Structure 1
Amino acid sequence: MYEVVTLWICEEANKHHCREWRSICRYNCGIIHRDLRPQNLMKDTYENLKLIDFGFAKSYEKNEITKRLPIQGTISYGGLKFLKYYLQFPFNALPPVPYEYEYERTFDLQCSLNIIMFMTNKEIKSQMISFKRFQYLQEIASKSYQLWLNFRKNNGNYSYILTLIDNVTKSD
């Protein structure tokens, strides 16, 4: 699966960074970051991408496919299943309730793909930046869900890669 993702991404982004994305987002590393976003990517002195801020990261046991955890980290780059789940709760309640989610091992792969789309597609980037004007996270989640759903419907490559990611989860 990584080869297909890498080939398509290389058409969209800098080839040097494609190899780095591939190594950063390894599905089988046993760690879920849960806060993947452009601000958590840095370049070292050799221009290599590095993932930072592991404050919400958790490790999986060897045979653990999902892990029930409090919802933490950024939501805008989450996959459709995560965003749909997130939208079912009334998040304007005070104090905020610590809702939980069954994070799949592939959660970060979906987030990574969405980050790549944000970084390489001007229209997506513009829309996501416009979401900052919303006051509530639920509004941002709703707009993000619509954006990624429409993009999946209208972009065959993106849809295909999401299907591959879904199949990785099902085959485990």
Structure 2
Amino acid sequence: MVSTLLPFALLALAFSAWPFASGYIDYPRHVGHKIFEALSFANKDPNFMIEKDKAEVILASLADMFPNHPPIRRKEALDIGNLVRDVDDNGQQMFKPRVAQVINIMFKNFHQKELDTKVDIFKKLVWILPLPPPNAEEWAKGVLAQEENKATLVALEGGGLDYDTIVNKLDGMQLR
């Protein structure tokens, strides 16, 4: 009897969400696979550079991978534990440096961007960084309106910051 049910059990597994349970991230619809694709993890060159014209598309695609239907509120900060496992040819992780490249590009000439564009960038950052889970739009508008945050915005606009520094600066922004 077991032998007659085994093919059905295997068929059920094939059409189930087994890749999610097993942690297998190459499943095309899995968020890990989408992040892998967006950040070009197939290119393991340690000197990999993200082109300026692709940074906005990458940021949007990363932010769109996470559920952000109203209300735009996450229950907990993004867990990047599994994302930092991919390494380049020198054995260095790729997630943090590549996300930092995207963010540094997005903050170039930030002071010259329209308020709506600034809010959109901040809303997307809430989804891809391990920040506390505020209401994305409310947080974005609030931190941009606070005078106390101007120095942080100038530092972010200066570019060249690593991932952890960016996260710390954004997490430290005042919101009243």
Tell me whether the two structures share a fold, i.e. TM-score over 0.5: no
The structure whose residues are more often strand, as a share, is 1
TM-score range, shorter chain: under 0.3
State the TM-score, normalized to the length of structure 2: 0.27
